[in-house]
Amino acid sequence: MNLQETLELHVKAAIKALFQSELESVEFQATRKEFAGDITVVVFPMLRVVKGNPAVIGEQVGQYLQDNVDLVKGFNVVKGFLNIEIDDSYYINFFKSINGNQNYGFAEPKDDKAIMVEYSSPNTNKPLHLGHVRNVLLGYSVAEILKASGKKVYKTQIINDRGIHICKSMLAWERFGNGETPISTGLKGDKLVGNYYVKFDQAYKAEISELVTQGKSEEEAKKSAPILLAAQEMLIKWEAGDEDVVALWEKMNAWVYEGFEETYKNIGVDFDKYYYESQTYLLGKEFIAEGLKTGVFFKKDDGSVWCDLTEDGLDEKIVLRSDGTAVYMTQDIGTAIQRIKDYPDVGGMVYTVGNEQDYHFKVLFLILKKLGFDWAKHLFHLSYGMVDLPSGKMKSREGTVVDADDLIREMADTAEEISNELGKLEDYSEDEKKTLYKTIGLGALKYYILKVDPKKRILFDPKESIDFQGNTGPFIQYTYARIQSILRKADSKLDKASNSLNNQIVLHEKEKQLIKQLELFPEVIQNAAEQHSPALIANYTYDLVKDFNSFYQNVSILGADTDVERDFRVALSKSVSQIIKNAFGVLGIDVPERM
């Protein structure tokens, strides 16, 4: 039990003893800095069961706690707020209980249902870009946070490897590529294929322009441009299994998959299972037929099949066209059901997809519930805002996106530039420097994106993200490295610290504040898992680091007056660094031992 849970039991006991009344719950808040105390009980909600002046009730409860509860050292009442001072022994005993526990804050795995987290899910006509980066970082981090909260997790993606956009890249390569390959050009496969997506768009626009000069309207020209008609014909051939088209599709997709894997490795994320749209786009039709029988769906006069969601505050949604072909919704219904077949222990799913798809997922989840799937109650759309750059929006077909690989390189280069200005790495080898620049650069990128609530849009500034001061990844990494330096200098054995901890230590206020922050970590993990929000972990870590730096500036660690104080402060510093490492670990961020 943490402090709040312990105190809640005692406050309830106080109300029962003093007023013969039962409290359902106790409301706590942090004590304001201008008042003495470590935690505050809000008295006003108690007036529902105890009649009287809140200040008087606070005095009576405070006195009861001080007289009957060892951990309560003192109290004061300000209007209807009971500020409680906690005895140092509580914090020392708590610290002794976690000291040396490398997994503190992480829950033991539970036996309940697993969760599947989907993220990335790119198209195979272009490389991953900055927008994908936010998706990948969010999805991976939420999966790791869910694991840390005690859940079994499967990480997955569905690769969009079919459709007209894929055929556009294929056709452009066929026409303009002269047989070039990733090997012959030295380009990553996804980058090479993405270049041909841009070339298709350029050729398409040129044809539109030509048709308009010949007297066609722009709308007519867009529909009748020969290169678009050829791409549509190629898609028909692919769906019919044409050998040449399928062979070209397999060859170019293989280039892209290899490129994606390199990017995933560079950014430090992984997956347990891949799904491919080319294998799932026909899924779902059987469930539409079943839903027609049970009344979940209805057929219109033209033969198309719909789901009427108007009573649920939505609209009518098509699930099969009049020609019997599926729409995206049909495919998503089938894929969700297939995943449960593949992983029977999955009891819920998280879809990491941008907020432009909010309505789609409301409809998908509702239809799956109407089809009677119990697990549909545990589906979550991890909706997120777009990422903008100071230069404006990105467009793939115009070639104005920020390539993920280029961004990672740019972040490492910026880290190198700033580190050289600070002049801290003179004794590093070139390889050590290169590794550190990437660690700092990636840490800056990931932290900058993950510290923001997923729903909010981000304006990403690479230079600002690598600042070594303020709420940034490098600032936190630097504090971790500073603690490692302290630990290396410590002449006492660190394991001796736990033996010398005793309740005779008088805690400095900065030590107490640090221990309070450490106590919050398990709750932060659970809250972040429930809210699917890495931002809670990121900002908790920043608060912890600020508290440590305040402790470092106000309290001598290695120069403490006694060995007991020194050992305690070294042990406390070590625990702080472990929590930083654990917190950053679930965010997918590495911490350097030296910096």
Q: Are residues 253 and 316 in the same domain?
A: no
pLDDT tens for 240-253 read 999 999 999 999 99
pLDDT at 395: 46
Predicted confidence (pLDDT) at residue 504 exceeds the cutoff of 80: no
Average pLDDT, the chain: 92
> Tell me, what's the pLDDT at 38?
94
Quick one: residue 116, left, alpha or beta (phi over 0 = left, psi -120 to 50 = alpha)? Answer: beta
| Residue with the two structure tokens 């390889």 | 431
Specify the pairing of strand 114-118 against strand 346-354.
Answer: parallel
342 token code pair: 């593949």
Do residue 66 and residue 9 come from a single domain?
yes
Q: How many residues does the chain have?
A: 595
Mean pLDDT of all residues in 147-165: 96
| Bridge partner residues of 351 (DSSP) | 118, 381
- List, for residues 265-296, the tens digit of each pLDDT value: 999 999 999 999 999 988 999 999 999 999 99
In the three-class reduction of DSSP (H, G, I as helix; E, B as strand; rest coil), residue 118 is classed as strand
Question: CA triplet 546, 551, 554: central angle to 5 degrees?
Answer: 125
Q: How buried is 144 (Cβ within 10 angstroms: 0-12 exposed, 13-18 middle, 19+ buried)?
A: buried
**Residue 233 and residue 300 share a domain:** no
For 404-424, the three-class secondary structure string (H helix, E strand, C coil) is: HHHHHHHHHHHHHHHHHHHCC
> For the ranges 132-146, 276-290, 353-367, which has the lowest average pLDDT?
276-290
> What are 427-443's pLDDT values in tens digits?
788 898 999 999 999 99
Q: Do 169 and 259 belong to one domain?
A: yes
pLDDT at position 340 over 50: yes
How many whole angstroms separate alpha carbon 134 and alpha carbon 384?
8
User: SS3 for 316?
Assistant: strand
On whether residue 350 sits in a domain, the answer given is no
In a domain, 80, yes or no: yes
Closest of 46, 25, 31, 8 to residue 78, by C-alpha: 31
* pLDDT tops 70 at residue 499: no
Range of the domain at 311: 296-324
What does the pLDDT read at residue 498?
A: 46
Same domain, 82 and 33: yes
CATH code, domain carrying 70: 3.30.1360.70
Q: Residue 399: its pLDDT value, please?
A: 46
- H-helix or E-strand containing 90? helix 88-98
Q: How far apart (Å, rounded) are the C-alpha atoms in residues 316 and 300?
A: 11
Which pLDDT value is given to residue 387? 87
The arithmetic mean of pLDDT across residues 225-246, rounded, is 96
User: Which pLDDT band holds residue 500 (cuts at 50, 70, 90)?
Assistant: low
Give the three-state DSSP class for 309. Answer: coil
- Of residues 495 and 578, the one with the higher pLDDT is 578
Q: Which of 105-109, 168-172, 238-242, 325-329 has the lowest mean pLDDT?
A: 325-329
Please give the distance of CA 34 from its chain centroid, rounded to a whole number.
36
Please count the structural domains in the chain: 3
- Domain closes at, from 324, 343, 361: 324
Residue 498 domain-assigned?
no
403/405 Cα distance (integer angstroms): 6
Contacts of 267 (CB under 8 A, 6+ apart): 133, 136, 137, 404, 408, 442
pLDDT score recorded for residue 491: 67
Distance CA 571, CA 577 (A): 10
Do residues 304 and 227 both lie within one domain? no
Write out the E strands in 446-508: 458-459
313 shares its domain with 229: no
Q: How far apart are CA 18 and CA 200, in angstroms?
A: 80
Residue 358 within a domain: no
Regarding whether 174 and 233 lie in a shared domain, the answer is: yes
Predicted local confidence at residue 112, as pLDDT: 82
Structure tokens at 72: 């309560």
Percent of the chain scoring above 90 in pLDDT: 83
Residue with tokens 């980058």: 191
The H-or-E segment that residue 354 falls in is strand 346-354
176: in domain: yes
Shared-domain flag, residues 181 and 257 = yes
Residue 391 has pLDDT above 70, yes or no: no
Please report the pLDDT score of residue 418 as a whole number. 83
Tokens found for residue 314: 């939505």
- Domain annotation covers residue 181: yes
Q: Per-residue pLDDT averaged across 394-404, rounded?
A: 59
Over 90: is that where the pLDDT of 419 sits? no
Short-list 521, 438, 517, CA closest to 477: 438
Residue 582 has pLDDT above 70, yes or no: yes
**232 and 316, same domain (yes or no):** no
Residue 29 lies in a domain: yes
User: Could you give the CA distance from residue 192 to residue 320 in angstroms, rounded to a whole number?
Assistant: 36
Q: Residue 154: its pLDDT value, please?
A: 98
User: Reduced to 3 states, what is the DSSP secondary structure of residue 559?
Assistant: coil
Handedness of CA 42, 44, 50, 54 (dihedral sign): positive
List of E strands, 171-302? 273-276, 298-299
Cα separation, 249 vs 245, whole angstroms: 6
Q: Mean pLDDT: which of 383-387, 459-463, 499-503, 538-542 is highest? A: 538-542
Query: Does 243 share its domain with 318?
Result: no
Q: What backbone torsions phi and psi does residue 188 show, to the nearest 5 degrees?
A: -60, 145
pLDDT at 490 over 50: yes
Residue 188 lies in a domain: yes
Average pLDDT over residues 229-245: 95
**Are 217 and 301 in a shared domain?**
no
Using the predicted structure, report yes or no on whether residue 574 has a pLDDT greater than 60.
yes
Residue 390: pLDDT over 90: no
Tell which residue, 200, 174, 173, has the closest CA to residue 187: 173
Q: What is the pTM of this model?
A: 0.91
Model confidence at 471: pLDDT above 50: yes
Q: pLDDT: is 63 or 403 the higher one?
A: 63
The answer, yes or no, to whether residue 568 has pLDDT greater than 50, is yes
Whether 377 has a pLDDT exceeding 60, the answer reads: yes
